[in-house]
Structure 1
Amino acid sequence: MMRQYELVERVQAYNPNADEQLLNKAYVYAMQKHGSQKRASGDPYFNHPLEVAAILTELKLDDASVAVGLLHDTIEDTDATRAEIDQLFGGEIGKIVDGLTKIDRLNLVSREEAQAENLRKLLLAVSQDVRVLLVKLADRLHNMRTLQYMRPDKQVRIAQETMDIYAPLAGRMGMQDMRNELEDLSFRILHPEQYAAIVERLEQLQADNREAIETITRELTERLGAEGIKTRVKARVKSPYSIFSKIERKSIALEQLSDMIGFRVIVESVEQCYRTVGLIHTTWKVVPGRFKDYISVPKHNDYRSIHTTIVGPSRQRVELQIRTEEMDQIAEFGIAAHALYKDGASANLTRIENESQAYGSLRQTISHLISGISAEDFLEYTKLELFQDQVFCFTPRGRLIALPRGATPIDFAYALHTDIGDTCVGAKINGLILPLVTQLRSGDEVEILRDQNHRPPSNWIGIAATGKARAAIRRAVRLAATQRAHALGEHVLNMMLEREGVMLDEAEAKTLAEELHIGNRRDLLIALGEGKVGSEDLGNALAKVKGIRKRRRKLDLPVADTADGWFALRATELFKFRVPGGQHGGPAAKAALAQLDFHTPVRITGEGVVPGDRLVGILQPDAPIVVYPIHSEVLAQMHDKDVAWVDVRWDLTGEEDRLFANVISMESLNKPGSLAQISSAIAACDANINNLVMRMISPDFHQMIFEIEVRDLAQLTDVLATLKRSPGLSAVQRAGAREAGMISTLEWDGNVDRSARDDER
């Protein structure tokens, strides 16, 4: 265990003006608070915060950061409080320690929700002070170094979380050495066989090429020195995980990799970087297509360097990275190399953003992620936003836009502005109009085509590659759905008010909403439009608010003498409907009601009715009751007709196992395996597919129309919900009459002879 004075000496080695009293006090306080606590390895728990502090000294961070490293687990794992930390060490340190403390797990539903909320809290704290992230990464690094003492299942979970979130975060901050170690430690747990094979190959490669490495280092140093360029050349071996990623990405064998060993050429100035490139290219043959200038166009994590590959001694490929000493420090230590806090001063966020593009970019990303996203979406978008691989594209005016690999013109449009993304209808890539699913490549010039009346469809969520684009699309889709529900709810309420011949003022509308346990009139209309409030509940609440006495008449309609007896419908309530002229129940409707008796036949329409659907019967003189589902388009056409409306209910006694046909439709991304994906999702809900129609609606999308068999509305809802969660699908819904007509007849008379249908197949 590192002693107190040794820690102080480590800090004073790079900061002679270190606050020795602060470090000593934090050391003693943390040691006393953790007391006799033990880690899974059996070591004293205090070893962990001490090692975290040691990692922070390797990054040469300020006194406050090192003190936080010692204190970071005190609030979470001991009886220490935020108020006590503030009092002893100041509000600045207390705020950072609190930002590193996990939230109370008891209030959360699932591990995923806990993970998302803890990450959300961490990122919010990071956006206010980058030292929160630096301490958290040091904490995670030491935990990964000692992960072998945990249960195997916990090792896998922590390693996957590190690979998904913390390693990319380190990369986003330009801390490449830490990222490599986090990835390699995770890789060893997640893929032990592949890890062992690559490590063995690297050791063999280094042994076999020791002489070649020395030769290349000497020749580069001598050639550049002869031209007056003082240089430092160092060989470096790629990390096991970066090699594994390249093998996976390019689908090649380990033996085919030619750049597992590379060289860093460190010179004194930017001007010498470009002189060095010229000298190297005129001395050795260059491998075409392997030149990248990250000095002119830095990566978003502040990485700057020139990459080139030459054919060196023994005709082997040699990868070179040419940079200055400052660039090399930033490439290895990232934001920690900016010396942001080394003067011991408090954080200055403006200064940080000016010095570090990486931190400014991360704060911008966090602002996109934090607001209005569910736990599940937050984890997904965070992972998308943190991945490092990039393509660089340009607007027609030359503005550079950095996007993740796999990005499309949709991502490009949203990177420019949310309004541009929302109104995007197409794109020109290098002057050619291409589909919006086209993946962009570095150097592409992209022009977005817009229509101010357009709104993004939900299937774009499966196409977009950036968290910002997906979040914006989800918000736009949600807003459009809310607006549609509001308009529909307003229509439903107005119909009810017309039927009862009453009006509502603002106060009564608020009372009506409260009667239904809803906050206000707007939320009531949305709930009505979404079907969360039924017409019966609305009618009862309206009667109470307006003092209307509802008149009801109950009767049963046996239907055994009709072909529709299979549905066993029971009519339970009658009410009149307003007709032209402002009278309740015109002459024809009254005549029809007068004729209603126990032998009135019932006919049900073929609009995909399933048990659980709200049903409405339309009664006309000398005609059967025609039953429609509440969502039927025909009912809207009946609004101004002189007919009586009969509210009917399902009664399936003895018919509980009966299956009912229903037609659903969706839009699917045109890609291999999409039909199999949909079929599997339907089968997973224990539903059966009877028939299928497909039609192309654009080069990128197909419309899929399925006739399926379900037991009831609950099972149908489960099918629709499962399909909506499937990637690449959008506009998942029950089919309208037009779509249903593409699979079967528009209308049938209730009881369908199942054996006859089976014979027809």
Structure 2
Amino acid sequence: MLTIDDFATQLTSYLPSDKINLVRRAYYYAEQAHEGQKRRSGEPYVTHPLEVAQILSEIRMDHQSLMAAMLHDVIEDTEVPKTALLEQFGEEVTEIVDGVSKLTQIHFESKEQAQAENFQKMALAMSRDIRVILVKLADRMHNMRTLGALRPDKRRRIARETLDIYSPIAHRLGINDFRIELEDLCFQAMYPMRARMIQKAVNKISGHRKEIVADIKHDIEDRLEREGLIGRVEGRQKHLYSIYQKMDRHEKSFHEIMDVFAFRIVTDTVDSCYRVLGVIHNLFKPVPDRFKDYIAIPKANGYQSLHTTLFGVYRIPIEVQIRTEEMDAVANMGIASHWLYKNDNEVDEENGQFHNHHARARQWVKGLLEIQKNAGNPLEFIENVKLDLFPDEVYVFTPKGDILEMPTGVTAVDFAYNVHTDIGNSCVACRIDRHLAPLSQPLQSGQTVEIITSPGAQPNPAWLDFVVTAKARSAIRHFLKNQKRSESMELGRRLLNKSLYHFELNLDELSTKVIDSWLDQAGIKTLDDLLEEIGLGNRMAYLVARQLMELTETEMNQPQDGVENIPAPLMITGTEGMVIKYAKCCRPIPGDPIVGHMSSGRGLVIHNEACKNLNEFRGNTEKLVSLTWKKQLEQEFSVELKVGVENVRGVVASIATSVTEADANIESITLEDHDARIRVVDLVINVQGREHLARVMKRLKVNKAVVSISRERA
């Protein structure tokens, strides 16, 4: 069992004695605070924070991180208040401890909600000090290593959460060592039998592989020495979960995966990396299209390396990574390497890559906070963030030549939101490599993307069907949610005023006391919330109006005389937006007599007055709303026609031409056989009203192939 003395001795390799003494002090404080507490395994509880600090020391974290690791459960699991830690250990350490504690303090109704809420809190904690997540990752690592004391179902649940959240975060922050171990531990906890079988198969072939690896390594080292190049050559082992994923996803056999031999060459400078690449390509034949330069264009998590695949002796595939010592540190320790090199005052002067890597991590956290601000609830937030945890990247250029790294499959809309939320909200079109292209077209690496904006434009709900990034998705949802609220409130105001007219009242004339009294009884916070509820169909305007009238009578002590006024119908302008729907069963258009049906959550659904689907509501004035059309409408409306045509060549084209000549657009067109001579064309067209529809039908009747035409409605 690890002791504080053993740990302090290990720390002498990179920390001065005064900092080690501070870590010791934090340990003794934690030991006293956790006195009498035991882990499930029966060990004293303080062994856990000590092991967490040990994990962090392996990636050479600073003394404050190690002190926070020692104290990370003190606030949560003991009687010690935050103020006591602040007094003893200062603000920086206390804030890290508090950040870690807050991730697991609150209890929620469901596990999904808990996971989502915790992740939100993690994002906020990381924004203050990114070391919070490093302590949390080390805490999760030790918990995963000691899962054996828990029930199998709990082991699987913790492993699934780790695989969904913590492992991808380790990957996103570039801490490869953490990611690999977490994935393997999760795999063993979730699928113990599969893990044992793969491990057994790896052990079985390892003897033969060692000889081949040694031969290839010797050939590479010999050639580098002859060319006068410095290079440390290492054979890379595939970890269990990686093997399992490739077998599962790519449907490859174990032997297909293990037939590839992987090597890493670590050299001294960036220039040497490219020279080593040339030497390797002379030694073994490179595989076409299998070279990637992550030095010139690093991955989103700061990873830099040259990747190439070669044909070795007997055409054995060899995967080679070439990088500098500094790049190797970033590849293995990610953001943690920032503290290592900050402590030693060693920074890559050539490209400042460690500072740059830290900035990347902070930029990612900033993006998380923006997504969180726009998300409606924690589950939506975590759903969006999971989209970014974290697929392969494509690299695209702005018109000024700046490079943006984005997930595979992104579109111009994702690109626009990546540049700025306002550009995304107002984008109307795009040019890809100077040519106009659809906004939904997936982008490819190397393309230059230009976004065309318009001041009056706004996001289209259809964008949600093809955007890939969490930032774009959350920003679009946020905009539409706010837009729908304002439209719902406007419709709700009109509906309520229409119902209040029955009682010779108007919303603007009601006293604040009456409105506040009603809101208080109904448990609704504001008048705007009430109007939104009415506009969405969740509350009936007539009932609310009646209750408001009764409260007004009580206040004025003047009972009404029972005379009921007939209000004017509500006017439909066609610009109400998302809170008014036009029923597809009867497809009403301007000129048709119409009536509205309040549908919960959807708002007002407009039907043709004669629609059969309204039969169950007829006579119920609370459910149906009398409507009329505004006289001049510029909007187009969908209407369905059934056109019987002779079965002749080119008939569909001639029908389409007739519709176009009548200044109408075709929304959809389908054909079905009626008999050997006649076919039926189902047309959905856009018209401005009944007069426009009459012109279209007249134009179709002139067509010699048309034998019948009728408008379809319920």
Normalising by structure 1, report the TM-score: 0.71
Alignment of 1:434-473 (within 5 A): 436-473=439-476
Shift of the 284–614 alpha-carbon distance from structure 1 to 2, 3 Å rule, reads: closer
1:61 offset after TM fit, Å? Answer: 1.3
**1:25 corresponds to which residue?**
25
Looking at structure 2, the residues matched to 391 and 315 of structure 1 have their Cα atoms a distance apart, in angstroms, of: 30
1:83 offset after TM fit, Å? Answer: 1.5
**1:310 corresponds to which residue?**
310
1:78 is aligned to 2:85: no
1:628 offset after TM fit, Å? Answer: 6.5
1:185 offset after TM fit, Å? Answer: 0.9
Unaligned runs of 5+ residues in structure 2 are: 346-351, 570-592, 610-614, 632-664, 671-692, 694-709
Deviates further, 523-532 or 336-345: 336-345
**1:538 corresponds to which residue?**
545
What is the alpha-carbon root mean square deviation over aligned residues? 3.9
Could you tell me which amino acid in structure 2 is paired with residue 363 of structure 1? V
**1:383 corresponds to which residue?**
386
**1:139 corresponds to which residue?**
139
Q: Residue 174 of structure 1: SS of its match in structure 2? A: coil
1:194 offset after TM fit, Å? Answer: 3.7
Contact between 2:264 and 2:320, CA under 8 Å: does it hold in 1? Answer: yes
1:605 offset after TM fit, Å? Answer: 10
- 1:374-429 C-alpha deviation (Å, 9 max, x unpaired): 02112212222222522222334433222223433332222122223223445555
Shift of the 185–406 alpha-carbon distance from structure 1 to 2, 3 Å rule, reads: farther
Deviates further, 525-534 or 376-385: 525-534
Looking at structure 2, the residues matched to 302 and 356 of structure 1 have their Cα atoms a distance apart, in angstroms, of: 9
Contact between 1:224 and 1:276, CA under 8 Å: does it hold in 2? Answer: yes
Looking at structure 2, the residues matched to 627 and 85 of structure 1 have their Cα atoms a distance apart, in angstroms, of: 70
1:238 is aligned to 2:229: no
Counting aligned pairs with the same residue, the percent is 37
1:344 offset after TM fit, Å? Answer: 10
Q: Residue 381 of structure 1: SS of its match in structure 2? A: helix
**2:361 corresponds to which residue?**
359
**1:478 corresponds to which residue?**
481
Looking at structure 2, the residues matched to 453 and 254 of structure 1 have their Cα atoms a distance apart, in angstroms, of: 57
Shift of the 230–353 alpha-carbon distance from structure 1 to 2, 3 Å rule, reads: closer
Contact between 1:408 and 1:464, CA under 8 Å: does it hold in 2? Answer: yes
1:82 offset after TM fit, Å? Answer: 1.0
Looking at structure 2, the residues matched to 503 and 607 of structure 1 have their Cα atoms a distance apart, in angstroms, of: 21
Could you tell me which amino acid in structure 2 is paired with residue 300 of structure 1? A
Looking at structure 2, the residues matched to 442 and 611 of structure 1 have their Cα atoms a distance apart, in angstroms, of: 46
Looking at structure 1, the residues matched to 98 and 78 of structure 2 have their Cα atoms a distance apart, in angstroms, of: 13
Looking at structure 2, the residues matched to 35 and 538 of structure 1 have their Cα atoms a distance apart, in angstroms, of: 64
Q: 1:529 aligns with which of 518, 525, 535?
A: 535
- 1:171-225 C-alpha deviation (Å, 9 max, x unpaired): 1111101101111111222233443343334334432221221122122122122
- 1:592-625 C-alpha deviation (Å, 9 max, x unpaired): xxxxxxxxxxxx9998899999999xx9xxxx99
Could you tell me which amino acid in structure 1 is paired with residue 466 of structure 2? I
Alignment of 1:476-515 (within 5 A): 476-496=479-499, 498-503=501-506, 508=511, 511-515=514-518
Deviates further, 365-374 or 139-148: 365-374
Contact between 2:292 and 2:306, CA under 8 Å: does it hold in 1? Answer: yes
Looking at structure 2, the residues matched to 391 and 317 of structure 1 have their Cα atoms a distance apart, in angstroms, of: 26
**2:188 corresponds to which residue?**
188
Shift of the 504–123 alpha-carbon distance from structure 1 to 2, 3 Å rule, reads: closer
- 1:225-266 C-alpha deviation (Å, 9 max, x unpaired): 222211111111122222333344434333333675311111
Alignment of 1:45-84 (within 5 A): 45-84=45-84
- 1:468-524 C-alpha deviation (Å, 9 max, x unpaired): 111111101101211211220222244345554455558835752553334444334
Could you tell me which amino acid in structure 1 is paired with residue 401 of structure 2? G
Shift of the 541–351 alpha-carbon distance from structure 1 to 2, 3 Å rule, reads: farther
Looking at structure 1, the residues matched to 148 and 103 of structure 2 have their Cα atoms a distance apart, in angstroms, of: 26
Contact between 2:596 and 2:624, CA under 8 Å: does it hold in 1? Answer: yes
- 1:119-144 C-alpha deviation (Å, 9 max, x unpaired): 22222111111211111111111111
1:250 is aligned to 2:250: yes
Normalising by structure 2, report the TM-score: 0.75
1:401 is aligned to 2:392: no
Could you tell me which amino acid in structure 2 is paired with residue 440 of structure 1? L
Q: Residue 116 of structure 2: SS of its match in structure 1? A: helix
Deviates further, 606-615 or 332-341: 606-615
**2:373 corresponds to which residue?**
371
Q: Residue 14 of structure 1: SS of its match in structure 2? A: coil
Shift of the 342–68 alpha-carbon distance from structure 1 to 2, 3 Å rule, reads: farther
Could you tell me which amino acid in structure 2 is paired with residue 489 of structure 1? G
Q: Residue 386 of structure 1: SS of its match in structure 2? A: coil
Contact between 1:413 and 1:424, CA under 8 Å: does it hold in 2? Answer: yes
Could you tell me which amino acid in structure 1 is paired with residue 292 of structure 2? K
Contact between 2:519 and 2:526, CA under 8 Å: does it hold in 1? Answer: no
Shift of the 538–215 alpha-carbon distance from structure 1 to 2, 3 Å rule, reads: same
Looking at structure 2, the residues matched to 152 and 317 of structure 1 have their Cα atoms a distance apart, in angstroms, of: 40
**1:281 corresponds to which residue?**
281
Unaligned runs of 5+ residues in structure 1 are: 554-573, 581-603, 641-694, 703-737, 748-761
Could you tell me which amino acid in structure 1 is paired with residue 537 of structure 2? G
Deviates further, 355-364 or 62-71: 355-364
1:272 offset after TM fit, Å? Answer: 0.8
Shift of the 255–446 alpha-carbon distance from structure 1 to 2, 3 Å rule, reads: farther
Q: 1:636 aligns with which of 627, 634, 643?
A: 627
**1:596 corresponds to which residue?**
none
Looking at structure 2, the residues matched to 391 and 359 of structure 1 have their Cα atoms a distance apart, in angstroms, of: 18
Between Structure 1 and Structure 2, how many residues are aligned?
600
Shift of the 413–391 alpha-carbon distance from structure 1 to 2, 3 Å rule, reads: same
Contact between 1:159 and 1:190, CA under 8 Å: does it hold in 2? Answer: yes
1:412 is aligned to 2:415: yes
Looking at structure 2, the residues matched to 636 and 606 of structure 1 have their Cα atoms a distance apart, in angstroms, of: 5
Alignment of 1:145-160 (within 5 A): 145-160=145-160
Shift of the 142–365 alpha-carbon distance from structure 1 to 2, 3 Å rule, reads: same
Alignment of 1:111-130 (within 5 A): 111-130=111-130
**1:35 corresponds to which residue?**
35
**2:95 corresponds to which residue?**
95
1:576 is aligned to 2:565: yes
1:209 is aligned to 2:209: yes
**1:723 corresponds to which residue?**
none
Q: Residue 195 of structure 2: SS of its match in structure 1? A: helix
Shift of the 501–341 alpha-carbon distance from structure 1 to 2, 3 Å rule, reads: farther
- 1:606-647 C-alpha deviation (Å, 9 max, x unpaired): 98899999999xx9xxxx9963676757x122999xxxxxxx
Looking at structure 2, the residues matched to 266 and 522 of structure 1 have their Cα atoms a distance apart, in angstroms, of: 63
1:336 offset after TM fit, Å? Answer: 1.2
Looking at structure 2, the residues matched to 614 and 453 of structure 1 have their Cα atoms a distance apart, in angstroms, of: 26
Shift of the 259–292 alpha-carbon distance from structure 1 to 2, 3 Å rule, reads: farther
Looking at structure 2, the residues matched to 411 and 294 of structure 1 have their Cα atoms a distance apart, in angstroms, of: 23
Looking at structure 2, the residues matched to 28 and 532 of structure 1 have their Cα atoms a distance apart, in angstroms, of: 59
Contact between 1:162 and 1:186, CA under 8 Å: does it hold in 2? Answer: yes
Contact between 2:103 and 2:122, CA under 8 Å: does it hold in 1? Answer: no
Q: Residue 335 of structure 2: SS of its match in structure 1? A: helix
Looking at structure 1, the residues matched to 666 and 110 of structure 2 have their Cα atoms a distance apart, in angstroms, of: 40
Looking at structure 2, the residues matched to 629 and 436 of structure 1 have their Cα atoms a distance apart, in angstroms, of: 45
Looking at structure 1, the residues matched to 392 and 167 of structure 2 have their Cα atoms a distance apart, in angstroms, of: 13
1:548 offset after TM fit, Å? Answer: 8.3
- 1:336-380 C-alpha deviation (Å, 9 max, x unpaired): 1123686499xxxx9986552432232222222332530211221
